[in-house]
Structure 1
Amino acid sequence: MFKRILTVCIGNICRSPTAEYLLRARLASRDIRVASAGLGAMTGHPMDATALQLLAEHGIDGTAHCARQLDVGMLREADLVLGMEKSHADAMIRMAPEASGKIFVFDKWLQGRDIPDPYRQQRPAFEHVYGLIEQGVESWLRYL
């Protein structure tokens, strides 16, 4: 089944690390490795302060996160790749066409909608996105 899951957004400081840490928390008892990366990552940066705060308020410590750039090797190694937007999935398929069968939109099992980028927005935008990611995590659990 799925042993290596990769979540992807653009900067790898808001959405994909939030999804990574939420998935890790929900899958802690299972032998599944969850990681994240960005298509245009802010390499080396920690998670956005508001995203980090929301995780902490839900009992999850994301302080160890360090943004990293997505590469073809990561796409090949992962068993399941979840992009936050349709355009992210399309970009990853262009990067590694051979991985197309394991690349999906994070919201696949719900409405298939894009998870909007809260970067540089106020806390309510982050709260909205956190809720969407939480719903997305729940929707994937039955398949993992």
Structure 2
Amino acid sequence: MTEHIVYKDIKRILFVCMGNICRSPTAEAVFRDKATQNKLTVSLDSAGTIGSHAREKPDHRAQKAGNSRGYKFDNIRARKVTVEDFADFDIILAMDEQNLRDLKKLAPAGYHDKIHLFLQYAENFEDMEVPDPYYGGARGFKYVLDLVEDASDGLIKKMKAKS
């Protein structure tokens, strides 16, 4: 599934959900903080499979939940995934199976191996999808953070491994 990935060579990561206002900006903010703590130099961005929220800031509830744990959402604005993203990023991490399918439909031939479910890196949760908290309450946004923190830690561990 991911054996071909050379984790130490990952320098550009794109996180993707549907609207790019809840899950993927949360992943971007969390991973940015954790990468900095782990002294990893990596370029991060997030995008959505739809463009209806383009240029909007992340959902205020996502920001509130993230800010409560010390994450910053500065300069994050929603945008739609572009065909160029598949060439520009080393790995593209989908928040759920539908995002994964949508990305694979959009990806030019030869780029499918870059697209993965983000939660495959989680070590403490069995979930494979980050649920969309948009229509729920604060608990959903906190759970998204729990999942994203765990997957971020797992991916960073792989990126820092010697082999």
1:32-78 superposed Cα distances (whole Å, 9 cap, x missing partner):
10110000131011110111011111112214211011111012210
CA deviation after TM superposition for structure 1 residue 80, in Å: 0.7
Tell me the residue number matched to 2:3. Answer: none
**Which residue identity is paired with 2:131?**
P
**Which residue identity is paired with 2:34?**
R
CA deviation after TM superposition for structure 1 residue 109, in Å: 2.9
Please give the alpha-carbon distance, in whole angstroms, between the structure 2 residues aligned to 1:108 and 1:65.
24
Residue identity over aligned pairs, in percent, reads 28
* Contact 1:47-1:63 at 8 Å conserved across structures: no
* Contact 1:105-1:112 at 8 Å conserved across structures: no
**Paired residues for 1:1-144 under 5 Å:** 1-28=9-36, 29-41=39-51, 42-96=53-107, 97-110=109-122, 111=126, 113-144=128-159
- What runs of 5+ residues in structure 1 fail to find an aligned partner? none
User: What's the TM-score once normalised by structure 2's chain length?
Assistant: 0.83
Tell me the residue number matched to 2:6. Answer: none
Give the RMSD, CA atoms, in angstroms: 1.3
CA deviation after TM superposition for structure 1 residue 113, in Å: 1.1
1:64-112 superposed Cα distances (whole Å, 9 cap, x missing partner):
2110111110122100110001221121111113211111001113436
Report the count of equivalent residues: 144
* Contact 2:121-2:152 at 8 Å conserved across structures: no
**Which residue identity is paired with 1:7?**
F
Larger radius of gyration, structure 1 or 2?
2
